[in-house]
Amino acid sequence: MGQIDRPEFSMKIAGHSSEEMFNRHNTVDAEDARQAVDQLQAYFANVDQTLDQAEFSEERSQVSN
């Protein structure tokens, strides 16, 4: 994942001034993580991942006119 794996990158985004502060706040409860995964699975189970190319082309041509 490149820079995302590095704490410095996350620290800069989150505004943590030290690695100690980052580590103190960089905790994930196992139950929270499980609930997040369950919510994502439920969301993606209901997502229609098909795309009708003809409809897409028509929509694009209407937007550009």
Whole-Å CA distances, 27 to 2, 4, 34, 47: 21, 16, 14, 30
- pLDDT confidence of 2, banded at 50, 70, 90? very low
Tell how many helices (H) and how many strands (E) occur in the chain.
4, 0
The parent domain of residue 8 ranges over 1-42
Report pTM: 0.39
Kindly state the DSSP code that residue 46 receives in the 8-state scheme. Answer: T
Indicate whether 28 belongs to any domain: yes
- Cα dihedral: 48, 50, 56, 57 (round 10): 180
Indicate whether 13 belongs to any domain: yes
Amino acid making up residue 28:
V
Tens digits of residue pLDDT in 3-58:
556 778 878 888 878 888 878 877 778 898 899 999 999 988 887 767 666 665 66
Give the chain's domain count.
1
